[in-house]
Structure 1
Amino acid sequence: MTITISSQAYLDLWNSANETPQYLDSSDLLDVTWRQPSELGEGYLREIELRDGLWLAIAHNQFHDEIITLGCDRAHSLEYYFYLTGGVLSGSTPTLAGQYGFYGSGMAPGGKYQLLGQEHLTVNVHISPEFLCSFASNPDRELPPELQHLIRPYTQTYYHHIGTTTSTMQVVLHQILECPYWGISKRLHWESKVLELLGMLVVQEVEMRDENHPFHSLKTDVRERLHHARELLLQRLDNPPTLIELARLVGLNDCTLKRGFREVFGTTVFSYVRSHRLEQARQLLQIGDMNIKEIAHLVGYADPKSFAIAFRKQFGLNPKDYRKKRKYSV
């Protein structure tokens, strides 16, 4: 079933369900948790003001139905949004699990915003234009030309870019979600991680606008074949094709495949497969129905010890310890 409501009505439901906010960290009154309205499903939204001009939001929601909200034009701040699970359709552009959206400031056009009726796990960061400009190295605190598109007046439509979450980004995202600290240590940890992600996104923005960057040397047909290669890898994570076989399947030579894959997706073919195997294993550990040896074999690891080493390297915990500690909901 699909529920269609106005953006204001959607916000009103959240407000009515949270007359009294909750504080998971009693020492931090800028770290607030909001329960999801029972009419919509189960879950929470945790919002943290890290400093003036920088906010982190972590949401874990399970929606009963697909939800469409209808809104009007509105002012928009700088923002990035990572979907670890779930997805959203805004206009004609979907953002799905394994992708991110990077948005500049300006005017966000009104219209339909469609939340898929499934589990959503997201990390969202809002940044004021002033905060971003504070990193500029010139006396006037002006962004360099290749980044000025990120800040637009509210009379202009904002900039947005949908990209693929790299394995390096995934590691940082899980370091945010599984923060073991409280108080000042927690805030320092989170601020360092959200800025690390922002740095990665800014690097990509600069590279996309550098005509001398190798990315621009790839023809459209080659980029399409590289995306096809990525889909084949995701379909065969338990038994991925060799590099030579993958190149043959998508009609590229192995050198072009290796070079192009790294330029488009920010990582090697091997690292991409390893990262997604381990992400699949992490999700299976959350479900809790399979033992660790079975999960290791399912995601393509014949040796559970090798699986444990790789898992710890990516997520900072052994699979056994991760299963004990898993807490994505409050």
Structure 2
Amino acid sequence: MGASTAIVGDFSVSDLLREAAERAITIEHRVLAGTSIETPAMSGMLKADEVQPGLLMSGYDITYLKDSGLAIEIEPSLLCTVLLDGSSEPLLLDGLSSVAHKPGRIEVLGFGSRQAGERVWFTGQRARAFGITVKPDFLDRFASSVDNDSLSCLREFLRPGFRRVTLPHLARAVEIANEVLDHPYEGNLARLYHESQTLRFLLEIAIALHEQERVGRKIGRLQYERAHNAREILDRRLADPPKALDLAREVGVNLTTLQSNFKLAFGTTIFGYVRVQRLKMGRILMSEHGLRVAEAGRHVGFSNPAAFTAAYRKHFGHPPTADQVRGQQRRH
């Protein structure tokens, strides 16, 4: 494996230049404010690791201390990045549209040839983000099997030209990204953890791309995105979800089309999805927050404890009291 980095505290642009040089990444400082690159430009935490040959991860939670920017030369590669919190200026790509980052949405960027770009930041701006870089040689090692599994979707991003996909919200991938930034490990244990989590993050993306392609062939890319938009609305408003007709209007399709496409995309009805997510939320309330069964059921929309218990047992295979007990034991 290659170089590994963990920086906590204040650091300068020159620190970034040195770390990039170790990874054969070409970046050049562009001064937007008349200060030295040796003075602190940002404060917070940065992690970076080449977890396998051709597979790199990086993550940071940074507050910028002055206006500045970096010019970047991107080698042929696949980049998968997610802004977890805060704000980030768009990635400016020479001759191409800029790439703006929406919090919680993974951007998959494929560079089939060398590409110049620039990223700037401004004083007081904070960004928490995670990303991986996949180089062609990493996927080449799987050449004998890659055409027959989900990884084939990744190879498409390394063809000549530029390709970009903004994935729907992937809760598990976002959770993995946050876990990488927050873990307490050091040394070899940290590197092993980085490797396992980076591979899991990549797998989540590969599966999502494969599923998007599969369902997209059936209902079309636009309808697939609308189904995902509907699910994101439901996730944000789970405690008081919109009626199906209102949801259809909000995403711009008729109710019948939304119901059909939602089931094709997610294998369940709108009602079934909301019900399962509420049960999962109830489980968290009991197992992690120590709520009693009736209280947890009420919080997730079940006014009748018996109905909550029956639905819970049917979905999880055991009564909610088992998770209630675990939650109470954890708190004591």
Instruction: Specify if TM > 0.5.
Output: yes
Instruction: Say whether the 8 Å CA contact 2:244–2:255 is kept in structure 1.
Output: no
CA 1:101/1:64 → structure 2, altered by over 3 Å: closer, same or farther? same
Find the counterpart in structure 2 of residue 62 from structure 1. Answer: 63
Shift of 1:133: 1.7
What CA distance in whole angstroms lies between the structure 2 residues aligned with 1:187 and 1:144? 23
Quick check: 1:120 aligned with 2:127?
yes
Post-superposition CA distance 1:166-205 (Å, at most 9, x none) = 1222332233233344443332232122111212222334
For 1:100-139, what aligned pairs fall within 5 Å after superposition? 100-115=106-121, 118-137=125-144
1:208 offset after TM fit, Å?
4.7
User: Structure 2: how far apart are the matches of 1:167 and 1:146?
Assistant: 20
Task: Call closer, same or farther: CA 1:198–1:72 in 2, change over 3 Å.
Answer: closer
Query: 2:317 aligns to what?
Result: none
Cα offset, 1:58, TM superposition: 1.6
Q: What is the letter of the counterpart of residue 215 of structure 2?
A: P
Residue 255 of structure 2 corresponds to: 252
Residues 217 and 94 of structure 1, relative CA distance in 2, 3 Å threshold: same
Pairs within 5 Å for 1:7-86 = 13-15=12-14, 40-63=41-64, 69=69, 71=71, 74-86=74-86
* Alignment counterpart, residue 198 of structure 1, candidates 169, 179, 202: 202
Amino acid at match of 1:92: S
| C-alpha distance 202-247 of structure 1, shift in aligned 2 (>3 A) | same
SS in 2 for 1:259: helix
* Structure 1 counterpart of 2:98, from 82, 92, 96: 92
Q: 5+ unaligned residues in a row in structure 1: which ranges?
A: 1-11, 21-35, 282-290, 307-317, 322-330
Aligned counterpart in structure 1 of residue 157 of structure 2, from 144, 150, 155: 150
Alpha-carbon contact 2:173-2:201 (below 8 Å) kept: yes
Question: Given residue 43 of structure 2, which amino acid in structure 1 is its aligned partner?
Answer: E
Deviation at 1:108, TM superposition (A): 4.7
Amino acid across the alignment from 2:46: L
Distance 1:228 1:160 in 2: 18
Are the equivalent residues in 2 in contact too, given 1:53–1:130 (CA < 8 A)? Answer: yes
**Which residue in 2 is equivalent to 1:241?**
242
The CA distance in 2 between the partners of 1:258 and 1:175, in whole Å, is: 30
Q: Secondary structure of the residue that 1:48 maps to in structure 2?
A: strand
Q: Provide the residue aligned with 1:214 in structure 2.
A: 215
Offset from partner CA, 1:67-86 (integer Å, 9 cap, x none) = 67473754243332122113
Evaluate the alpha carbon distance shift between residue 159 and residue 64 of structure 1 in structure 2; reply closer, same or farther with a 3 A threshold: same
Is there any run of 5+ residues in structure 2 with no aligned partner, and where? Answer: 1-10, 20-36, 92-96, 303-307, 309-326
Question: Shift of the alpha carbon at 1:130?
Answer: 1.5
- Counterparts in 2 of 1:245 and 1:206: CA distance versus 1, 3 Å: closer
Report the alpha carbon displacement of residue 135 of structure 1 after superposing the two structures with TM: 2.5
Quote how far apart the aligned CAs of 1:234 are: 6.2
Measure the CA separation in 1 of the matches of 2:16 and 2:99: 30
1:137 maps to amino acid: S
Q: 1:81 to 1:129 in 2, by over 3 A?
A: same
Give 1:168's match in structure 2, choosing from 158, 165, 172: 172
* 1:15–1:302 Cα change, 3 Å: farther
Structure 2 CA distance, aligned partners of 1:109 and 1:54? 19
1:60, 1:121 within 8 Å by CA — same for their partners in 2? yes
Inter-partner Cα distance in structure 1 for 2:132 and 2:240: 36
- Cα displacement (A) at 1:98: 0.8
CA distance in 2, matches of 1:80, 1:221: 22
In the alignment of these two chains, the number of paired residues is 257
* CA RMSD across the alignment: 5.0
Which whole-Å CA distance do the structure 2 matches of 1:119 and 1:88 have between them? 11
> With structure 2 as the length reference, what TM-score do the two structures score?
0.57
Task: Report how far residue 59 of structure 1 moved.
Answer: 0.5
